[in-house]
């Protein structure tokens, strides 16, 4: 029997092993997460480090809370009206509560309509500006918020760079966290440049419209709100049509934002605009305001003058100032007409309060814009015969009578160098025995020279110094004819001695100063000094009254109880007249800057006296003068 074979056992087929996909995927995910964390940490570190680096040189943000920009010093006349400003940046600070309600709303509508909604940066505006710039192919829109503009204006340079942009973003964020929206907007409205040298809305309102910001109407507000984007391109004084188009844009934006109704926008757009000619004010007051600036700078220094926003009340009477400008211009043109000259001469006028020395009017030339040189203060010219009353006053102080008679005969004086000086009267005639009274009334040179010899040079020079003349006077006999140059302000100030019974009041141009906090500081007053006895002043006044009534100053007749003296230098180079009442003392000078004759016959009586009369008649209404004491005539033989 054959043995049975055992059936062969088939090997069991094991299923193939699948790769561990799940674990590999899990590993990749871990790696990616790990790398992302690393990248995030690196990015965060780089960003933090960059922010820290950029913040190293950032200004202290806390300084904005004590906002102290360059603020305009404002000059007022004695009635409180603005006559000028002193500034590096023409800015007048204005609080938010003093702004008309529509003014900040107009600027927000024009510059940053979502200002009250976004933070320091407006992402939507930045994105929109980016897209528009891509479409136009140039950088036409910036997307800066008002907060960014404040940051840029106050704390960063104007140099454009990515580094500055980064600093601007960081600092704007800090500013937005530190100050309220209203505070930031207030700074913006005081800081923004609006053209024509005006910084901030208050200065712009006064520059363009001659009024305060709170007095602006909607049409004017919209015009100003359109300026920040490009003050030169949209200047209403230079590009009126572009300014009007921008004004319409602002009004439409305000209407779209619901700030005003469409009807209000239409009415405002069609409302006429009246611009203020601030150049005319500068022309009228320029010589005086520059003189005030010099006085302030001497006392306070330039830095304080430009930074602290002082309000300076001056002594100027604007009505009299306007009359003075017109009188000088008319006088200069009259000389040009008489002489048929191609060019009119220059002129100057100073009017002082006889009892205080306050400068009421000052004109230093015929055109401040072309020649700011102040001929009333800076120029030193020979005064001619207007100096003579000081000589006569010194003589009367020594007891010499106005009725003393001196022989008016040819005179020859031997000079130290061996030569001879042979002076003569203006008429080149001699008049024989002449009283001192008539010698001064008719401006006789020979008698005055002899009187100076009798009185002495030193007493006259000392009296002139006490009367405010600081220019050096040469101790020589030609002093009798006004040979030593002086300024018009000095000479006019000296005449106040006669107008106020022998007292000299130094000329002053400022009464008080108010700082930005409202504290008032009086300007240091100058004590009046007695120069001559009251009787001497009355004697001189009586004689100078006759100068106008019957002497060389007859062309100045017409002002009650006035007194004055003419002056003319050799070859009619300078023409003077100084006259006064108990209220006002006014000096006038006409001449050419470069030593040229005014022309034949252009004496002080013909040329300067009419200017004085024109000014005094135009605006001055002096009070009734006290009786002018005359000295009884008597003939006394003398030299």
Indicate the pLDDT class of residue 572, thresholds 50, 70 and 90: very high
Q: Are strands 420-421 and 432-435 parallel, antiparallel or unpaired?
A: unpaired
What gap in Å lies between CA 106 and CA 114, rounded to an integer?
13
User: What is the per-residue pLDDT for 325?
Assistant: 97
Q: Which two tokens stand for residue 190?
A: 């005081």
DSSP code of residue 358: B
Spatial separation of the C-alpha atoms in residues 248 and 2, rounded to whole Å: 123
Distance, in Å, from the CA atom of 71 to the CA atom of 470, rounded to the nearest integer, reads 35
Residue 73, strand partner residues: 86
Q: Residues 6 or more apart from 25 whose CB is under 8 A from it?
A: none
Mean pLDDT of 99-120: 90
Mean pLDDT of the chain: 86
Token pair belonging to 450: 């002899």
Q: Which residue has the higher pLDDT, 485 or 633?
A: 485
- d(Cα 265, Cα 353) in Å, to the nearest integer? 52
- pLDDT at position 625: 38
Please state which of the ranges 301-315, 379-393, 439-453, 612-626 shows the lowest mean pLDDT.
612-626
User: Quick one: tokens of 133?
Assistant: 């710039």
- The CA distance from 618 to 584, in Å, is 13
Q: Please report which confidence band the pLDDT of residue 62 belongs to, taking 50, 70 and 90 as the band edges.
A: low
Confidence of residue 219 (pLDDT cuts 50, 70, 90): very high
Asked whether 218 and 254 are in contact (CB, 8 A), the reply is: no
Question: pTM for the complete prediction?
Answer: 0.79
Mean pLDDT of 548-552: 97
Tell me which of 172, 318, 385, 443 is the catalytic residue: 385
For residue 159, the model assigns a pLDDT of 60
Q: Tokens 């006392």, residue? A: 299
Confidence of residue 139 (pLDDT cuts 50, 70, 90): very low
Would you state the pLDDT for residue 307? 81
Quickly state the pLDDT bin for 175 (edges 50, 70, 90): confident
Residue 482 dihedral angles phi and psi, to the nearest 5°: 75, 45
Torsion, Cα 389 391 392 394, to 10 degrees, reads 120
pLDDT at 22 over 70: no
**Which residue has better confidence, 10 or 277?**
277
- Domains of the chain (ranges; CATH) run 99-275 (1.10.3810.10), 326-618 (3.40.710.10)
Q: Is 476 a catalytic residue?
A: no
Task: Point out the least confidently predicted range of 76-80, 163-167, 225-229, 473-477.
Answer: 163-167
Question: Pick the residue with more confidence: 320 or 277?
Answer: 320
pLDDT at 275 over 50: yes
Whole-number Å distance between alpha carbons of 95 and 74: 17
Mean predicted confidence (pLDDT) in 174-202: 90
Res. 633 pLDDT band, cuts 50 70 90: very low
Residue 529 sits at φ, ψ, to 5 deg, of -120, 140
User: Which pLDDT score is estimated for 635?
Assistant: 28
Residue 484 has pLDDT above 80, yes or no: yes
Residue 502 in this model has a pLDDT that exceeds 80: yes
Indicate the helix (H) or strand (E) that contains 253.
helix 240-256
Which among 454, 347, 447 has a CA at the least distance from the CA of 398?
454
Identify the band that residue 225 occupies on the pLDDT scale cut at 50, 70 and 90.
very high
C-beta of residue 401 within 8 angstroms of C-beta of residue 638: no
Predicted confidence at residue 624, as pLDDT, reads: 41
Binned at pLDDT 50, 70 and 90, residue 148 comes out as confident
Q: Cα separation of 87 and 309, whole Å?
A: 9
- In this prediction, residues 241-249 reach a mean pLDDT of 97
Structure confidence at residue 26 as a pLDDT band (50, 70, 90): low
| The pLDDT of residue 539 is above 60 | yes
Q: Identify which of 595, 615, 599, 616 has the alpha carbon closest to the alpha carbon of residue 607.
A: 599
pLDDT at 632 over 50: no
What's the pLDDT score for residue 303? Answer: 83
- What does the CA dihedral 42, 46, 52, 56 come to, rounded to 10 degrees? 150
Model confidence at 208, pLDDT cuts 50, 70, 90, reads: very high
pLDDT confidence band for 36 (50 / 70 / 90): confident
pLDDT at 166 over 80: no
Confidence of residue 292 (pLDDT cuts 50, 70, 90): very high
Instruction: Dump pLDDT digits (tens) for 176-188.
Output: 877 888 998 999 9
Residue 637 has pLDDT above 50, yes or no: no
- Choice between 349 and 176, residue whose per-residue pLDDT is larger: 349
CB count within 10 Å of CB 389 equals 23
Reported confidence tier of residue 342, pLDDT bands at 50, 70, 90:
confident
Coil, strand, or helix at residue 195? Answer: coil
pLDDT at 8 over 70: no
pLDDT at 110 over 60: yes
How far apart CA 291 and CA 314 sit, in angstroms, is: 11
pLDDT of residue 59: 56
Rounded distance between C-alpha atoms, residue 290 and residue 269, angstroms: 39
The label of the residue with tokens 């006077």 reads: 473
Describe the chain by its helix, strand, coil percentages, rounded to 5: 45, 15, 40
- Phi/psi of residue 629, nearest 5 degrees: -75, 120
Q: Find the mean pLDDT for residues 237-256.
A: 96
Beta partners for 362?
350
* Rounded Cα distance, 68 and 86, in Å: 17
pLDDT at residue 418 tops 90? no
Active site annotation includes 354: no
What are the φ/ψ torsions at residue 413 (nearest 5 degrees)? Answer: -115, 130
pLDDT band at 618 (very low <50, low <70, confident <90, very high): confident
Contact 510, 355 (CB under 8 A): no
DSSP 220-244: HHHHHHTSTT-TTTT-TTT-HHHHH
Q: How confident is the model at residue 19 (pLDDT cuts 50, 70, 90)?
A: low
The arithmetic mean of pLDDT across residues 202-230, rounded, is 96
């Amino acid at each position: 029997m054959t043995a049975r074979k055992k059936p062969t056992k088939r090997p069991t087929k094991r299923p193939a092993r699948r790769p561990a996909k799940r674990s590999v995927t899990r590993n990749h995910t871990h790696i990616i997460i790990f790398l992302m964390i690393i990248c995030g940490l690196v990015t965060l570190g780089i960003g933090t480090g960059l922010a820290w680096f950029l913040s190293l040189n950032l200004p202290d943000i806390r300084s904005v809370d004590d906002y102290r920009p360059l603020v305009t010093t404002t000059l007022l006349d004695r009635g409180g009206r603005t006559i000028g400003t002193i500034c590096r940046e023409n800015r007048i600070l204005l609080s938010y509560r003093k702004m008309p309600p529509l003014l900040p709303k107009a600027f927000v509508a024009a510059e940053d309509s979502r200002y009250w909604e976004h933070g320091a940066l407006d992402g939507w505006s930045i994105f929109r500006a980016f897209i528009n710039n891509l479409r136009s192919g140039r950088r036409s829109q910036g997307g800066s918020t008002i907060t960014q503009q404040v940051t840029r204006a106050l704390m960063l340079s104007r140099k454009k760079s990515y580094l500055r942009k980064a600093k601007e973003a960081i600092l704007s964020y800090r500013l937005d966290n530190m100050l309220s929206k209203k505070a930031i907007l207030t700074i913006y409205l005081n800081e923004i440049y609006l053209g024509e040298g005006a910084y901030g809305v208050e200065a712009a309102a006064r520059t363009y419209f001659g009024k305060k910001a709170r007095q602006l109407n909607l049409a004017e507000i919209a015009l100003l709100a359109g300026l920040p984007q490009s003050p030169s391109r949209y200047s209403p004084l230079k590009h009126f049509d572009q300014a009007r188009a921008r004004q319409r844009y602002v009004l439409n934006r305000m209407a779209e934002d619901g700030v005003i109704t469409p009807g209000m926008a239409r009415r405002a757009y069609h409302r006429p605009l009246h611009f203020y000619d601030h150049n005319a004010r500068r022309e009228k007051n320029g010589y005086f305001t520059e003189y005030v600036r010099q006085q302030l700078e001497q006392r306070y220094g330039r830095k304080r003058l430009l930074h602290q926003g002082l309000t300076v009340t001056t002594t100027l009477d604007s009505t009299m100032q306007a009359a003075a400008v017109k009188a000088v211009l008319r006088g200069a043109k009259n000389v040009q007409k008489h002489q048929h000259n191609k060019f009119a001469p220059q002129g100057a006028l100073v009017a002082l309060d006889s009892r205080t020395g306050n400068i009421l009017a000052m004109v230093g030339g015929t055109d401040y814009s072309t020649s700011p040189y102040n001929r009333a203060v800076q120029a030193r010219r020979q005064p001619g015969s207007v100096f003579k009353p000081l000589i006569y006053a010194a003589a009367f102080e020594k007891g010499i009578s106005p009725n003393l008679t001196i022989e008016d005969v040819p005179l020859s004086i031997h000079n130290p160098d061996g030569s001879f000086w042979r002076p003569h009267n203006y008429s080149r005639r001699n008049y024989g025995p002449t009283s001192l009274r008539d010698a001064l009334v008719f401006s006789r040179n020979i008698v005055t020279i002899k009187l100076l010899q009798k009185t002495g040079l030193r007493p006259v020079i000392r009296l002139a110094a006490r009367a405010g003349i600081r220019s050096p006077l040469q101790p020589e006999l030609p002093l009798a004819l006004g040979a030593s140059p002086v300024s018009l302000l000095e000479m006019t100030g000296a005449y106040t001695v006669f107008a106020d019974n022998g007292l000299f009041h130094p000329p002053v141009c400022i009464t008080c100063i108010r700082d930005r906090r409202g504290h008032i500081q009086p300007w240091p007053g100058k004590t009046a000094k007695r120069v001559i006895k009251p009787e001497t002043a009355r004697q001189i006044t009586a004689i100078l009254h006759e100068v106008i009534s019957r002497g060389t100053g007859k062309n100045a007749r017409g002002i009650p109880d006035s007194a004055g003296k003419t002056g003319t230098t050799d070859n009619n180079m300078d023409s003077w007249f100084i006259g006064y009442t108990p209220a006002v003392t006014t000096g006038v000078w006409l001449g050419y800057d470069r030593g040229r004759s005014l022309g034949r016959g252009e004496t002080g009586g013909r040329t300067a006296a009419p200017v004085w009369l024109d000014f005094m008649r135009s605006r001055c209404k002096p009070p009734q003068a006290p009786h002018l004491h005359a000295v009884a005539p008597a003939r006394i033989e003398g030299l």
